Structure 1
Amino acid sequence: MLAKMALQQRIRGRHAHTPGATFLTYTPNGKKLITAGVDNFCRIFSTGSDDEPVMVDECMENSTAIVASNGFFIAGAEDGTVSKYSLADNTLDQVLVRASLPVRDLALSPDGTWVAVASDELVVKVVNTQDNMQIQILRDQPRAVKHVAFDHSGSHLAVSCTDGNIYMYSLSSEEPNMIKKVDGMIKSLESDAEASSKVLWHPDGRAFATPTAGREIQVMSFSDWERQRAFNTSHSADITAAAWSPNGALLATTSSDMNLCLWDAKTQKLLKKYADMKDTILAMVWHPTENILSYTNNGGELFIHTGIVPEEHISLLEKSLQSAPFFHDPSEGRSGNAIKPANGATNLDIPHRRPLRAQTPDSLADILGPMSDDEDMADFVVDDDGAGYAPVVNGHGKRTNGHLGVIPNGTSKRRAYGSSFEPEIHEAFQPGSTPWRGNRRYLCLNLTGFVWTVSQESGHHNTVTVEFYDREFHRDFHFTDPFLYDKACLNDNGTLFSCQPSHNASAMIYYRPHETWTTRTDWRTNLPKGEDVTAIALSDSYVVVTTSANYVRVYTLFGIPVRVYRQKASPAVTCAAWRDYVLTIGNGPIGGDGMCQLLYTIENVKRDEVYQSGDIVALTPNSTLTSVFFSDNGDPYIYDSTGVLLTLLHWRSSGQARWVPMLDTRLLSRLETGAKEESYWPVAVANRKFHCIILKGADQYPYFPRSILSEFEFQIPLTSPSDNSAKDKDEDPSAMNDDEAEGATGKKEDDTTRLTQTLILSNTLHTQLSSTLSHTRGSPSQRQTLIDLEVAIDRTLLQLLGLECLAGEDRGMKALEIVTLMRDANGKMLDLASKVAQRYGREVLGEKIRELAERRLVGLEGEDED
């Protein structure tokens, strides 16, 4: 009796909606639980709070499905409406899409970008949650769809059709394609039946499970489509809902027999049965982090079942990510070892691979586990320290490109153990490329276009697509890639690819020009055995390759080798090229933060001249290099993990180069309110602007579909945006009242900040361009731009002079200093400066300016400085 009373205390039943079918979802962070039912509102419950839930009106009646991200939730209804609601203000945001027949299920991609809509229509619509004009249509199923489910990478969608088949789609290409029809697993059900045929993706991403006609839960491996272990649930009626625990160690099932069962996923043994439920449970979800299972029924009730896992089994829920229940691990058939994810990916990003231990074990038993079990022993063989005894491959059985990604804080840590110390090496990377996400990734992103690749299910080849922004100038193309290219460069002349060694084949370089006047001029060349490609670069004149042997190899555009030399800074990190110039970067001596400093070298290949040799890349402590490229005018730029864009001034003069910040994205005015959480993926610098892709939330890399390019003006960091309105407390404009004085002072400070920003930026651009013209034959437009910059500098100084004159007589010395900075060669600007001083009645200042003009005229100013 006491046990039954305790159970009743733990189960918190609430009448959330009018009696009828009711559905629920948690936000990914677990802070909110949202329900929808037959009435015209949704309710939002706060986890751990007994307060009344928030009610969201404007909802459609007879809701049939609900999904949520941390910032919004989406509900579908029987009238075919799919609506998006904001969790910031709990209001209707927009109607995403309308179906002509009732909506039956929704699935939200892990990143919240896409929502899949299952309805009584014959098609499934996959709609972009930010831009509902972007819609993908899935058409291969012949009948209405009952359920949809995204895998944990967001690149695959499982469609449970009412014909009793599962249609597995790949969404990794521009056009979705059906990759597998799985028959004989689910029961043929009507779309409005209470019974479930929904695909349940296991949290480790390598397998999925479904309720069967025999009332079992059957597991199938995703890589080879083989049936694995099954849960003999012994339910006496059709299963209506099921859910994996967040770590995949437990499975909860329920049926219209009014029983809820809790299972050990590894052994398929029943741990606990909760019998005699009041009504049929239609939906249930685990809390992402706590021991809570919540479910709703067809009576409009919500149950928040705290302590669902008994104390004697709570250790299962506290474990790290567990393997799917396999008879045999499919990954062992390919490599014989556990599979390690690509750098920059998580265990939930890539399907069909062995999961890694997510947390530090507390005891030896946590490390070893039950060693008598063969599967646990196999799990123990993981190359956690990168020592090389387990091959590093991705979820498709191919070598990873670990150098492409930088872990969140930007470094690949090699921690010291005991008294020994190892420096932290900066990982190599290819500018403009992204890591694998699912089975696709970008190989190159720039202002010419983009190159992306899709890994095919066979694992023996990829599909590469090259797209251009200007399709009138170049035509898009794609090809089957049996070499598994992992790097690419793209410009107006051609596309460069490289692949790593495989089997008995060595690493290879492949160049394909866009247009030729002969029959065929593309070429391939193999590197010596034992060399991996760490980075490649392509200019209008040369192909550049850096390798794991620290060689820099330079070829002409027709494949003729012109340079081979060993890089001084090692291991190599990356490279860039523009016309005849080549920039290489490698690891150097250890800095004060324990990380290797990056050293760069710039040379002119055609002239065989080295401009900078082994100079330091200026990074702040604990930051890393994210990208390196040349601007459209041929100036080197870098972008670091702190969000700062820097350019290299005086790089053609040995020993004179220095890195100058041109933009700190953390200080952008769009981030001033703190409402936006975003970062920026560098693409290029052109027309004196920073071109990038805006990444929302915690995203680190661009994903599909390709985002539009954004551009930002240069803004050398001088002050925070919030400081721009700071008032000068020394000001006392006596001719104004307090409000007018404060407003005038604030406006003057804003004007001063704006003008000083313009001044230092113009000076930097002038220095940059004048250095270029002093070493190259500049074009007429470049020479005119230099003159325009000089005029802009003097005009800005003249405006600053006016503000200082307006401030008062005590600003006279600063005003004269401003005049001395003018570049005026013919005295015109000094004459205007004198008139400004006269206009504001600054006679002494005017006299000083005239004296300065006279000294410049007779050349005495230089003698005084000497």
Structure 2
Amino acid sequence: MTQPRSKQRSVPHMEGPTFLSYSPDGAKIVTGGLEGLIKIHSTSDPSAEPKLLDQDFGMINEVKFLENSILVGCEDGAISKLNSKTLQFEEFFCRTNLPVRQLLSYSSLFTAIMSDDLNIKLVSNTDASIGSLEVAKKNVIALTACKKEKIFGLDSDGNLIIWNTKDLKQATYPIIQTLPKIGQSGTRLDSGDICRIDCSPKGDIVALPDNDRQVLIIDTQNYTTLKILPKELRPYSVVKFSPNGKYLATVTKTPDLKIYKCDDWSIIKEIQLDYEIVDLSWNPKSNQLGFTDWEGGLSTVDDVIDISEELISPIANITLDEISPNGDLKDEDNKMDFDNDIDIDNDLDNISLNDDGISLNSELDRSPSPQPEDGHYQIKSSFVPGSFVSTPTNQSILHFNTQGYIRLSNQEPSTISVNYFDTTTNQNVNLTNRSNYNIGYLNEYGFLLVKTEYAENDPSSIYFQTTTLVGDQIKWNLNFDSKVNIVGCCLTQLGPLIITDDCRLHWFSKSGQELLIQTSHHQNFVSCASKDEKIFLLYADNYQYKFVVLEAFNQEHIKTLVPLTDVAIPVTDNVEWIGLSDEGLPMMFTSDGSFLVYHQDAQSQPGFWYPVLDIPYNKKIPFHYPIGGSLGQVYLVSVDRQDNWILSPSIIQETWSIPLVILQTKDKESAGYDSELVEKRIIIDLLKSLPTLNFDQDQLLQETLLDHDKLLIKYIYHTAKTNQPDVKTLDLCKNLTKPEDIQNVIKLVRSLQNAGLVQKLENYLEEYEDNLIQARVNSNGKRIGEFNNGGNISKYSR
């Protein structure tokens, strides 16, 4: 094997998600990320230039700073080992066949390696011997470990898995407990995000961010939910216990950083950060927190807790000669804790017993933990109108169509009521009350209720009913006897479509007859929507969303799958909702507040997602959420977040337009501009969709952006000169991003003696510059980074 290639850069600067790790003495921080570069920062001087290693590791997914080495886990499956003193490449620590997702050095002896498959390796830091954790049934998407012989993992179905690593010399480490559905299935990793869980140093508590913007605190001694941290406006991204286990740091996508005191779960510090955080870590030797963001930045915060109490718990340096032949560790009295599973020194310090005297480390099955008394349930879901999930916090969901509104509500946790509101008569009609369904879909063809978990010989796994208020109604139950779980569903003019977690699409007729089963596009299904014969399917592949629009005119038509197309949105943005307009145009709403419409014509292949409307996704209560749309309009509902996402029964219609630059024009010169601009946009969007750019690609992007703006200015002048409608010139001008370019346009238009258009452009420029100034003020306000009760933030040099 060859070592990573050398790479010269004049300006050390990282872009994209970046990860960090403190050195054991707390004096240094290592960072690495999307760009493939490793930097070493000094915690004593944040303004100092970091040490930049001259190797290019490719896309870095994890870094770990050990006592004598630094481990670098990469997208290509390689884990490189660097000397922490000389910072030179030593060897490939290990190599996997799939991208490394997480490196977990849970002791000074072993490192756990998590990839995209079911196998998790344990590699000795001393002799490179390899063991593995007992294989879980589903992919493990997050991993954490304590110093008390346990590793905790969260799988893609939301199960919390616990492995016993007491014997450090085993080939396979057994699963001792699986807590079913402790977290919501389809965790955020499947939609392009990094899911991070954490446990306390003793392993008695696990913090688990769920899909309902909460953090579950799990007691691993009796397997119950100890606490649910308050729901936030946006999901949690990282949680991290302090080295002594007395504090928990949490970061949301807002991004807000909060420090909780674990004895009473009170918030002792709070700060609003600049950028969305990727990774978070405590300095092992001080009360400092370090964090990295999606822009490649590194920051630290000092004085996050009161250090009148000792932050650091004493951690003994374990050496190989302190390990007994069977892997046990010597105790304080220099005796082994166990001899043939008997606690020979009777101190019980490494064994936990329940009230009946039974070891909690045994492999006995235990019943699921009871639900908390405060009414919160552990299985949560994000809010997706049209496609719904039944939870006590999603008590009411509204769906809009041309005939009226359909609302689903579950006044009791296991019962769903479907109501149809006829706008012509202003009457509510209750259609059905069904129990034990937790996923479904609504549109003009009817409603579909589904049980997501496989239950053998369940005669009512799927329920379908039309919503026609006059004429015959169709109702049927279906025994979906397939040993798989349902992850999505929608309704087409053919009938129901069911998506299962074995990458299959199940097509049914309206009468309940199975029409076709076919392999789907990708295993990471995110969401779906349908309108008439069109079906919009969204998938995720690491940091990239992919989508496809199928047409289901008849049974023959659905037999051919269309290839997936990338969704070119920033990796920092998440899709919150998808739908199809009344005309069948794919629509999308993202967590950054962008409402996008997919437009494709003969000249724009493969087509573009155009941001046609900005919907503020902030702390405003209530705020507007999209539930549909038509060509030129978006249907919004008013949502009160503080009232469990109850929707107001009123539709707000916002207007929008696809930028005129892509519309067909009458004169040949305009058509030529249209064609050239589309070509430039294709190049720009393709380059921006790449996870990382090399020097040549970056240069091409900058040149293409410049050519695009020059071409656009010429096109704007052409439209003004040929007396085309002022609105077209103004709309084209809104595609310019630099105030100086807009000023040049105004000078050109002024020479044409069109005073009315000049005034409109000047008004737009004034508004545009005001928005830029306000954005800078807001940004600077956040960059100050002051806690509500003290603390300072340090920005590290890039």
Same fold (TM over 0.5): no
Measured against the shorter chain, the TM-score band is 0.3 to 0.5
The normalised TM-score by structure 2 is: 0.38
Which entry has the higher C-alpha Rg, 1 or 2?
1
The normalised TM-score by structure 1 is: 0.35
Higher relative contact order (CA 8 A, sep 6+): 2
